[in-house]
Structure 1
Amino acid sequence: MCEIFVSADPHLYAHRSRSLRLHGAVTCIRLENMFWQVLEEIARRDGMSLSQLITRLYDEIVLANGDVSNFSSFLRVSCLRYLALQSDGAIPLDTNVPIRSLEPAAVLRRDRFMRTDTSRDPLQANG
C-alpha cells in the first residue's frame, strides 16, 4: 500500500517559499510544490495570477473569520478541498470551466452531504 505514496516524485513534496504582497505588505509563504501546482491550476481556471488568487483567498478568509492564524495551512486545506470536490464531482474536472461559474451554494451542499457520509470519513469510520 505505502509504495503508492512512497514512489511519488520527491519534487512534489519538496518545499518552496514564495514572496508576495498582501495589501502592500510583503509576506513569504512556504508550501510543498504539489500545493503550489494545485493553487496555480485554481488560479488559471479563473484567469488569475497566483498572487491574485492568494490575495483573494486571504481577503475572503479574513472577511469570513476575522483572522487566519495559519494561512499556509488554510492554503493546503483549500487545495485538498478543491481536489476532493473534483473527485466527488462537485467541481468539474474540466479545467476550462471557471470556478467562478459554479453556484457556490450547490457546491457547498454537495460538500456538506459528503461530510455527513461517515463511510467516506476515515476518522469517523475507524471509530
Structure 2
Amino acid sequence: MYSLRIDGVATSIRIENHFRETLTEIGPGDGMTVAQLITRLWHEAVDVDHDLGNFTSFLRICCNRYHALIAAGEISAEHSVAIASHPAREILARETACRNLRMNGYGIPVTSKKQRASCRRRRGISGPFGIAKVRRSRKVTD
C-alpha cells in the first residue's frame, strides 16, 4: 500500500505487486519517486476530465499501457530511458490511425493489407478479426 499526499490530501492506494513494480520501474527513468509519479498521473487525469472514481484502476490501466507500448516497440524497454523522451504525439497519432480504419460489416478493416498488418503488429494482434494469437504448447505424454 502506498501512502502519499495529493494536493495536501492524505491518500492511500492498495495495488497488486505487479503494478507496484511497474510504477517503481517507470518513476526513476523520469527522475520521480513513485509518489511523485502517482501524483503526476492524478493531475494529468484531472486535466483531461477523466472520472477518477477508482483511481487505482486507472493506475492499473497506465501500467498495462506501459507494458503494451514496450511490447509494440513504441517505447524503450530500458528503464533508464525517460518516458517523457518518447514522441507521445506521434505514438498517439499512429494508434488513432489504426483505430480509425474503416470497418466493413464483419469488423475487418477496409484498407490495404500492408496498413492492416502494420497496425496489427504494433498492437500485437493477428488474424483477420483482430483476435490476439495465443500459442499454447501441448505436452505429449506417453
- Moved >3 Å (runs of 4+): 110-119
Give me the TM-score of the superposition, normalised by structure 2. 0.68
Q: Which has the higher helix share?
A: 1
| Residue 125 (structure 1) aligned to one of 115, 131, 136 | 131
| Residue 51 (structure 1) aligned to one of 18, 35, 44 | 35
Note the residue ranges of structure 1 that are not aligned, 5 or more in a row: 1-16
Structure 2 CA distance, aligned partners of 1:89 and 1:112? 16
Cα gap change, 1:71 to 1:58, in 2 (>3 Å): same
Q: Which has the higher strand share?
A: 1
Note the residue ranges of structure 2 that are not aligned, 5 or more in a row: 102-118, 133-142
5 Å matches for 1:1-127? Answer: 17-65=1-49, 67-112=51-96, 117=119, 120=125, 125=131
Structure 1 position 52, deviation (Å): 0.5
SS in 2 for 1:21: strand
CA RMSD of superposed structures (Å): 2.5
Structure 1 CA distance, aligned partners of 2:24 and 2:98? 26
Structure 1 position 94, deviation (Å): 1.6
Q: Which residue of 1 aligns with 2:116?
A: none
Cα gap change, 1:71 to 1:108, in 2 (>3 Å): same
Structure 1 CA distance, aligned partners of 2:26 and 2:67? 10
Structure 1 position 107, deviation (Å): 2.0
Amino acid at match of 1:125: I
Give me the TM-score of the superposition, normalised by structure 1. 0.75
